[in-house]
Every structure is written in structure tokens, then in C-alpha cells.
Amino acid sequence: MSVFKEMDGHEQVLFSSGPGGLRCVIAIHSTLLGPALGGVRYLPYRDDDQAIDDALRLSRAMTYKAACAGLDIGGGKAVIFGGAGVEKSETLLRAFGQAVESLSGRFIAACDMGITTADLRVMRKESQWIRGLDVEEGGSGESGAMTAYGVSLGIRACLKYLDGSDNLEGRLIAIDGVGKVGARLAAHLADGGARLIVADIDQEKAERVAEACGAEVVSREKLYLLNVDVLSPNAIGNVIDADLVENLRCRIVAGGANNQLASPVIADRLAARGILYAPDFVINALGLIQVVDELHPAGHDMNRVRQHAEMIPERLVEIFTRSKNLNISTAGAATSMARDRLAAVWRVRSFWLPPQCR
């Protein structure tokens, strides 16, 4: 991997090592709309290239997510190298907090895979630029519930766009991943009368969710080949690749996972096959909206976050319409929408203003 080639379009990428075995990458894609905000992942990456690619792709998606959601925030992401011989200790977490603090507010860290609100609390001891803490500590709490709610609204919007009705009764929906988002999404969909099939790398977790929601449990490999109304990826990204996309038998792909498609060309193949894709950085944006609301001058207000929820189905319909009118994929339509907003702001902020005029 040529690091500088891969960094193209990013403002800054910080590589840091430190006490406790810390090895991390903090990628800042854009601060045009505001400071970069993104989750922190703690995962056993296969190698350095995989970790760097994850940080770069996810930070870019965060920029587009914020832009499409109308937020005045930039895109960033952080990954901590986990795996054998690396314990998620207080030392490691505090060392990561120092790395965040060294960026002086250009990057704001929040929860993502492998990181809990308890971990954020430890990071906060070293950095003021940590968000998503528990409510009793002045934060908005874990954002998985709001993300799941937003995804459920997005799935309804997809069904209504294709069929004219968002009624979930009798719809067959396959959910991959029943963690912080997937389990709550399953509950929302089951409450609406959907028939569910679930899968997770943790078989016991899948069985618990299935029992609570009246769902069927299958292997992840089988789940992606089922003939269903909706396929909902809610685990790790890059799951739909060039081989799998040709074998999908769903009508809709709509889930809470980030970077669901292994490459941009997969979106074109989905469109060519007549499968409606809800761009992940649009349908899963409500969790980001919740965390960003902590920055509001009046303080966090969950009612204000809920009011933003209807933005997700509305934005998806705009994207589907743009996709149809321009004869491009829905992912291409969403990306162009995000870039339009970035370009509009750039035209204003390309003029330098002295500090006293800002």
C-alpha cells in the first residue's frame, strides 16, 4: 500500500504508538463543515494495511454522512490495533486519549465496534474531545438505539418507494449482526409484524434475539443467499463483494453497518440487478446526529434528536429520485448530494477571514 496515495483527499492521518501496546490510526478526512467527529474501533486487524484502509474509508464515509444529514461537523475515524498480546487496559485507553488531545479539537472521538461508554470514560481522563458518554456523565449515552430506530425508518422508506406501502406485516427481513444496533432493529421490525431471519458470529446472541423476536436463526453464509424482501447488514463492513453481489436474492439492501459494499462498483452492480440499496452513510446517520447534538450550545436534548429522525426517510427518497433521474446508483446519488453541500460551503469558506471577523 502507498500510504500517501491512499490518503488522497484526507486532510490529516495520525499514526501513534504508546504505553499499553497502543498502536492506532486517527484519520481526519475533512473539517470543512466543522471538527471531524468519528467513532473509535478496537479490533484485531489482520495487518496494518487493513487497519489503515478501515480508518480511511470510514472517515470519508463520515464526511458524507454528516453532509447528507445537514450537520455542521466533519468526518473522521480512529482504529486501535487489538488482537493477541494487546489488552484493552486503562493504560492503552488513556494513551489513546492523549493522542486525541494532541489534535487540539480537530478530531472528536465517540463509540464504535469494540469500544464501550466505559472505555470512553477512561479516555476522557486524558482528553476533553470525547463524546457519547453515559447520560449520568453529561453525555447522550450509547447511540445504538437511535441508530437502529433510524434504520427501521429507512427500511420502511425503501419498502414504500418500491411498493407504495411501508407496512411491515409479513415482510421477510434477514438481519446480519444482532449487536448494539441489530438486536434493537430486530425488535422494531418484529413489533411492526415483519418475519425475521437473523445471523451473528455469536450463535448464543443470535438465539437470544431470535427467541425474543420470534425469528429464525441461520448461518451468516446462508443468510446472504436467502430470497427475502430486505437484507440488512448490521455487523462489520465490506461484506458484499463482487462475488456475493451476483448471488443476492433480496429486493432491498438496507442496514446499519458502515461500508457495507467492498468497493464503489458494487453499488453499480446492485443497481443493474434491480436491487434497491439504501446508502449506509444515510440510513445509519441517526446515531451520529445523537452524538453531534451533545455539542449544541443549549446542551443535549433527545427530543431534538428524535425530531431529526424523519430526515432519514426523506433523504433516502431524495436519493432514490436523484438516482433514477440521473441513471446512477443510489450510492452515487448520495455521494453527489454530499459533495454538492461540501462544494456550497467551500465557496463561502474559501475566503479567509481575520479572527475578529469570524
Residues classed as catalytic: 77
Burial label for 167, CB within 10 Å (0-12, 13-18, 19+), is: middle
Pairing state between β 107-111 and 12-18: unpaired
Residue with cell 430470497: 227
Residue 290 phi/psi, 5-degree rounding, is -60, -45
Residue with cell 475515524: 77
Q: What three-state secondary structure class fits 324?
A: helix
Q: How far apart are CA 283 and CA 152, in angstroms?
A: 9
Q: Which of 172, 194, 330 lies closest to 260, judged by CA?
A: 330
| AA letter at 25 | V
- Strands (E) in the chain, as ranges, are 12-18, 22-30, 36-43, 74-81, 107-111, 172-176, 195-199, 216-217, 230-233, 252-253, 276-277
What is the rounded (10 degree) CA torsion for 99, 105, 109, 110?
150
| AA letter at 153 | L
How distant, in Å, are the alpha carbons of 178, 204, 213, 217 from that of 207? 10, 5, 10, 7
Strand order in the sheet with 276-277: 216-217, 195-199, 172-176, 230-233, 252-253, 276-277
